Structure 1
Amino acid sequence: MRSHPTNWTDMSNYVVHFTKGGPGKNDYNVMMSIYASGTLKPGRSFGIGINKAPLSSGQGSVCFSEIPPGQWNRLEERRGTKYGLAFRKQFVISQGGGPIWYAWKDTPHWQALQAMMDAAAEDPDALVWRITPMIDAPGTYRGRDYQFEWEREWRHLGPIQFEPEDVAFLLIPEEQHAAARGFFENAYYENLGPAYFCPYVDPSWERERIIEALNT
Structure 2
Amino acid sequence: MPSIEDLLHRRTDLSAFVVHFTRTTARATASENLKAMLDDRVIEARSVFGMAARLAEKYEVIADTQRTVCFTETPLEHAWMMCEKIPNRTMSFSGYGLAFTRTFARRMGANPVWYLDITPGHDWLTGPINNMVSDVEKIAGDPFKGGADAAAEADVLRLTPFIEQMGAPLGRRKEFWWEREWRHVGDFDFRFGHLVVVFAPEEEHDEFEEHMREIKVKGRLPSLVDASWGLERMIAALAQVSEPGPFPE
TM-based fold match above 0.5: yes
Change (3 A) 1:196 1:183: farther
Q: 1:138 aligned to 2:151?
A: no
Q: Unaligned regions of 5+ residues in structure 2, if any?
A: 86-91, 140-150, 241-249
- Give the AA of the match of 2:113: I
Partner SS, residue 168 of structure 2 = strand
Contact 1:16 1:64 in 2 (8 A): yes
Per-residue CA deviations over 1:18-51 (Å, capped at 9, x if unaligned) read: 1123257333222111100111112310012211
Q: The residue matched to 1:82 in structure 2 has which SS?
A: coil
Q: CA deviation at 1:97?
A: 1.1
2:79 to 51, 57, 72: 72
Shift of 1:130: 0.6
Q: CA deviation at 1:13?
A: 0.4
Q: Distance in 1 between matches of 2:224 and 2:44?
A: 22
Paired residue secondary structure (1:81): coil
TM-score (norm. length: structure 1):
0.87
Instruction: Return closer, same or farther for 1:125/1:179 CA change in 2, 3 Å cut-off.
Output: same
Whether 1:185 aligns to 2:213 is yes
Q: Secondary structure at the match of 2:173?
A: strand
Q: Contact conserved, 1:187 with 1:194, CA < 8 A, in 2?
A: no
Distance of 1:100 and 1:107 partners within structure 2: 18
Give the partner amino acid of 1:203: A
- The letter of the residue matching 1:198 is P
Rg larger for: 2
Taking the aligned partners of 1:64 and 1:159, their CA distance within structure 2 comes to 13
- Aligned mates of 2:183, 2:158 — CA distance in 1: 12
Aligned counterpart in structure 2 of residue 12 of structure 1, from 12, 15, 21 = 15
5+ long unaligned stretches in structure 1: none
Instruction: Look up the equivalent residue of 1:90 and give its one-letter code.
Output: T
- Report deviation, 1:2: 4.4
Partner of 1:109: 125
The residue identity in structure 1 corresponding to 2:129 is L
| Of 234, 245, 248, the match for 1:210 | 234
Deviation, structure 1 residue 185: 2.5
- Show CA shifts across 1:154-207 (max 9, x none): 00011111111111111111111122222323444xxxx678611111111112
* Contact 1:184/1:195, CA 8 A, preserved across alignment: no
Give me the CA root mean square deviation: 2.3
Aligned equivalents of 1:212 and 1:84: distance in 2?
Answer: 19
Q: Does 1:147 align with 2:175?
A: yes
Instruction: Please give the TM-score of this superposition, normalised by the length of structure 2.
Output: 0.76
Q: How much does 1:11 deviate?
A: 0.8
Give the match's secondary structure for 1:144: coil
Secondary structure at the counterpart of residue 72 of structure 1 = helix
Which structure has the highest strand share of the two?
A: 1
The Cα of 1:60 is off from its aligned counterpart by 0.8
Out of 141-150 and 59-68, give the one that drifted further. 141-150
C-alpha distance 114-213 of structure 1, shift in aligned 2 (>3 A): same
Task: Look up the SS of the partner of 1:154 in the other structure.
Answer: strand
Question: Which structure 1 residue ranges, 4+ long, deviate > 4 Å from structure 2?
Answer: 193-196
How many residue pairs end up in the alignment?
A: 211
Structure that is richer in helix per residue: 2
Would you say the 8 A contact 1:187–1:195 is kept in 2?
Answer: no
Is structure 2 residue 223 aligned with structure 1 residue 199?
A: yes
- Say if 2:103 is the partner of 1:90: yes
